[in-house]
Structure 1
Amino acid sequence: MTKKNKLIRVLKDRSGATYIEMVIGILIFVLAIVFAIKFLPVLILKNQLNTFATQVSKIVSVEGCYDSHVQEMIEELRVKSEIGNVTIATDGTDFISGTKKIQLDNEINIKVTTQYDIGIFTFGSFPITVKSVAQARSDAYWK
C-alpha cells in the first residue's frame, strides 16, 4: 500500500473520534489559560499585600503609635505601592489605655484586607477577600 492510498483511507474514515478528542483537548487547554489569566493576579495581589502589611507593621513599630500622622504615612505608602483600597485593622494590639500608643516591646498586629473580583467573562462577579497579617514589636518607650 502506498502513502497516497493510506492518506485516502484515513481521510475517508468518518468515525470522528479523533476530531472529538481534539476539540476536548483544545477546550481543556483554553480553560487552563483562562484559569491562569484570572487567578495569577490574585497571587500577585497577595504578595503585594504581604509586603504592604510588613511595611505597615514596621512603620507602626518604629513610631510606637497608630495616630493620624502614622495613618498619613501609611496612606502615602499605599499610594506608592498601587495596591488599591485596603482596610487596615490593629486587632489584638496592646495600646496604652486611652491612647493609640504602644509601649516598648508590646506586640503589634496588623491585618490588611482588600477585595478582588475574579468574575469570568459574563458569568458574573465573584469578589473574594484577600488578607494579609503581619506582626511586630514596638520600638518606642512611652513615659
Structure 2
Amino acid sequence: MLKKLKNKRGEGYIDVAVLVLCAMLVIALAVKVFPVYITKNQLDTFATELCREVEISGRVGNETTQRAQVLKEKIGLDPVVIWSKTGKIQLDQEFTVTVSIQKDIGLFGGFGSFPITLRAQATGKSEVYWK
C-alpha cells in the first residue's frame, strides 16, 4: 500500500496540461493587445506627418486637409484631429496637433472588452514668414 502512495507516475501530465493552458491564455492576450500598440505607433506617425506639413506650408488649411486624407487612406485610420491654431501661422510660432481614436481591447469577443482612447500629440514651429 505504501508503494502505491509513493508512486508519482502520471503527476507530470497535469502539470503539462496546466502549463499549456496558461501558455494559450498568454498568446490569446498578446493577439488582442499587440494591435493596440501598433495602432498607437501609427497614430504617432499620423500626428508627426501632419505637424511637418504645417511646418512647411505655414498654415492649417487645404494642404493639411489633403494630407490628412492621404494619411487616412495610407495608414487606414480615421482619427479625430484637433489643432491648437488655425489659419496662417507666422514664422517661429508654435502649434500643436492632437489626434485621437477609440479602440476596443479585451479578450474573447464582447466578454471583458472595453474601449480605450489612444491619443498622439505633435508640436512644431512654422517655417514660413507671412508679410
TM range (shorter): 0.7 to 0.9
CA distance in 2, matches of 1:54, 1:139: 15
Amino acid at match of 1:131: R
Gaps of 5+ in 1: 1-8
Q: 2:108 aligns with which of 114, 121, 138?
A: 121
Sequence identity (%)? 37
- How far apart are the structure 2 equivalents of 1:142 and 1:74? 23
Shift of 1:124: 4.8
1:72 Cα shift? 2.2
TM-score normalized by the length of structure 1: 0.76
RMSD: 2.3
1:26, distance to aligned residue in structure 2 (A): 1.4
- State the match for 1:104 in structure 2: 91
Partner of 1:113, secondary structure, is strand
Aligned to 1:134: 122
Which runs of structure 2 are paired with 1:33-72 in the superposition (5 Å)? 33-72=27-66
Is the radius of gyration larger for structure 1 or structure 2?
Answer: 1
Structure-2 residue corresponding to 1:6? none
**Counting strand residues as a fraction of each chain, which structure ranks higher?**
2
Superposed CA offset, 1:99-137 (max 9, x none): x11111111211111111113113153111111111111
Structure 2 unaligned regions, length at least 5 = none
Q: TM-score, normalised by structure 2?
A: 0.82
Task: Number of aligned residue pairs: give it.
Answer: 126
State the secondary structure of the residue aligned to 1:121. coil
User: How big is each residue's C-alpha offset from its partner over 1:26-68, in whole Å with a ceiling of 9 and x where there is no partner?
Assistant: 1210111011111111111111111111111000111111124
